[in-house]
Chains A and B, each alone.
Chain A
């Protein structure tokens, strides 16, 4: 899986879980999105894990507070390049 494919999947999950559209290529930070509260954060994590077949570390859950960071961590775990 390429990094672009990982980003596409994470974007789809975020749009579905948060119930909003995301502009192509734009980042989304938790601090800027009111719907992204602690419960939605965990739901996002769960759904990304299910979709990509990976598991984030408990220690990093709180730090994954933007689309970019989620994509980066997921891509690293999947060894996704390009």
Chain B
């Protein structure tokens, strides 16, 4: 990397840190936002707005929020259209329904309005595979609540639909939510304050969540970040834990409950940090909450790389929270890709956790908590692997159970998540949206198999997915993804072979072709395919003649229990 590029990276992150007080302010100010111009490259995406009211007051301040996460929107608008004809030309990476529901109030009861909207959203789903965001009703009266309940149900029914809760903004602003003065000129009833908050919610939370998977871990500095003071100088008793520090720590715990790993990256002596936790029981964060730690007097860049390696995640899935801009500048240049949050003061940092791109706006997953517990068990697994006499003995000691389910609709969100988040064991990088997965689940020529893994140490939940398709006498594995949490237990062959065997029962074929696309970190997938097929995959992937006895022979020597689950 050139010296110039290195300086740029540091400057970019420090500029972002300067933006934080404006973006995460309790009271947003339009003039301050309009003055923010990103000096860094932003990735464009296509946002299509289906609306019956102005979105421009939101759009004019959406830019800085999106730019903070490295994006910019190219927006295409529908006409003001109460009938929601969905006539907007051009492609969409995200579709947004932006409706003033007041306009329907005299004509349709909430239930009727939801039924009509369901039909419209299904129509949009049929023609667009992009995530669909539906902004709910910002009012908080009983009719609006009934409508918003109905919208949440709608999002459960149609794949890839998320509700943007303007109702939350309405609850926060109360009487300040609406401003009827502008309606005479523009037909828009939301107040400026509501528009600014909507821009923040969309630009920092909902659009990033629609476009990219969640960040996987937060690495935290200690001194002047989780408390006020310097541990090595003030000692545990001299550190200040204010109400906002407590709030910050509790928010971090809530994120951990949602499956985000917490890690410590601290320039302190280990013995001092041990004393901190022992002598300050008022700290909500406890040592057991950290899935990885780097505590030493050395550059944090190497500590962050070790944390990412220990958690088996890319550094680009890591958020580093730090009060020292100098430390941030070094990390920006030495660990490119890592995300950063400047912990200037605890109140702002706590609020930033509600909005930081890639942290919020994701549906709760069944496997969220399992992920954290699973990593905690991995140290025990590594110990078992070291002391076992053979790979088979190791597997036997773990008592591994693999559970296979075919075309199970309940797994849809997790299947899309795996396709989008998995980087190492990913054969094709299709990055399937929920809508695309739903299409495959409904296609009689496709089989999508989800694979769950548990052993005596932990239940990992769904760790693998095979997206299969019959094409004449060939079964095509369009994509195989296995979470890195499952790697290292030597179950990849069992997962793939049993899933193929099961699919071939319903979609007979003499040959299996594995599609393959080279990615930045999918060496494990390439190596597996080369071993499985006996030769390295090329641009067209790699094929094998299917041997019906392969599964039986494999499981004769592999001490793994296989379970098949039915269900929708």
B186 adjacent to chain A (CB < 8 Å) = yes
Give Cα A49 to B192, complex, Å.
Answer: 10
Residues in A with CB closer than 8 Å to B57 are 39, 42-43, 46
* B184 lies within 8 A of chain A by Cβ: yes
Chain B contacts with A in 35-68, Cβ cutoff 8 A: 35, 54, 56-57, 60
Cβ B34 vs Cβ A17 within 8 A: yes
A62 close to chain B: CB less than 8 A: yes
Could you tell me the distance in whole angstroms from the C-beta of A70 to the nearest C-beta in chain B?
14
List the A side residues contacting B186 at CB < 8 Å: 38-39, 42
Residues B185 and A43 in contact, CB atoms below 8 Å apart? no
How many inter-chain contacts with C-beta < 8 Å in the A-B complex?
A: 48
SS of A interface (majority): helix
Interface digits, A34-53 against B, CB 8 Å rule (1 contact, 0 not)? 00001101110111011100
Of chain B, the residue at the smallest CB distance from A47 is B30
Rounded to whole Å, the gap between the CB of A55 and the closest CB of chain B is 9
The distance from the CB of A40 to the nearest CB of chain B, in whole angstroms, is 8
Inside 8 A of A47's CB, which chain B residues have their CB? Answer: 30-31, 34, 192
Q: Please measure, in the bound complex, the distance between the C-alpha atom of A17 and the C-alpha atom of B192, giving whole angstroms.
A: 14
Q: What's the minimum C-beta distance from B175 to chain A, rounded to whole angstroms?
A: 13
Query: Would you give the 0/1 interface string for B469-486, flagging 1 where the beta carbon is closer than 8 Å to chain A?
Result: 000000000000000000
- In the assembled complex, B181 has its CB within 8 A of some CB on chain A: yes
Binary interface profile of A, 3-34, with partner B (CB < 8 Å = 1, else 0)? Answer: 00000000011001100000000000000000
- A49-63 vs B, CB cutoff 8 Å, 1 = contact: the mask equals 111000010100110
B27 to chain A, nearest CB (A): 9
Q: Are A41 and B185 in contact (CB under 8 A)?
A: yes
- Cα A28 to Cα B483 in complex, Å, equals 61
Q: How far is the CA of A41 from the CA of B56 in the complex (A)?
A: 12
A-B contact pairs, 25 of them (CB 8 A): A13-B31, A16-B34, A16-B35, A17-B60, A38-B185, A38-B186, A39-B57, A42-B182, A42-B186, A43-B56, A43-B60, A46-B30, A46-B57, A46-B182, A46-B192, A47-B31, A47-B34, A49-B192, A50-B30, A50-B192, A56-B181, A58-B181, A58-B184, A61-B181, A62-B185
Query: B184 to A61, Cβ gap below 8 A?
Result: yes
- By a CB distance below 8 angstroms, the chain A residues around B192 are 46-47, 49-50
Do the beta carbons of B180 and A58 come within 8 Å of each other?
yes
Interface residue count for A (Cβ, 8 Å)? 19
Q: How many residues of B contact A (CB 8 A)?
A: 17
Q: Does B351 contact A (CB under 8 A)?
A: no
Contacts of A56 in B (CB 8 A): 181
Determine if B398 is an interface residue (Cβ-Cβ < 8 Å): no
Among A49, A56, A58, A61, the one with the most B-chain Cβ atoms within 10 Å of its Cβ is A58
With both chains docked as a complex, state the minimum distance between the C-beta of A76 and any C-beta of chain B, in angstroms: 18
List B contacts of A13 (CB < 8 A). 31
- Note all chain A residues with C-beta closer than 8 A to B184: 58, 61-62
Q: Which residues of chain A come closer than 8 Å to B29, judged between CB atoms? A: 50
Of all chain A residues, the one with the shortest Cβ separation from B29 is A50
- Nearest A residue (CB) for B34: A16
- Taking the closest CB of chain B, its distance from the CB of A15, in whole angstroms, is 10
Q: Which residues of the partner chain A approach B188 to less than 8 Å between Cβ atoms? A: 42
Q: How far is the CB of B182 from chain A (nearest CB, A)?
A: 5
Query: Do A16 and B181 contact each other (CB < 8 Å), given the known contacts A39-B57, A46-B57?
Result: no
Nearest chain B residue, comparing its CB with the CB of A17: B34
Q: Is the CB of A39 within 8 A of B30?
A: no
* Residue of chain A at shortest CB distance from B60: A43
Q: What is the bound-complex CA distance between A12 and B367, given in angstroms? A: 51
With both beta carbons as reference points, the residue of chain A lying nearest to B55 in the complex is identified as A39
Hey, which chain A residues are within 8 Å of B31, CB to CB? 12-13, 16, 47, 50-51
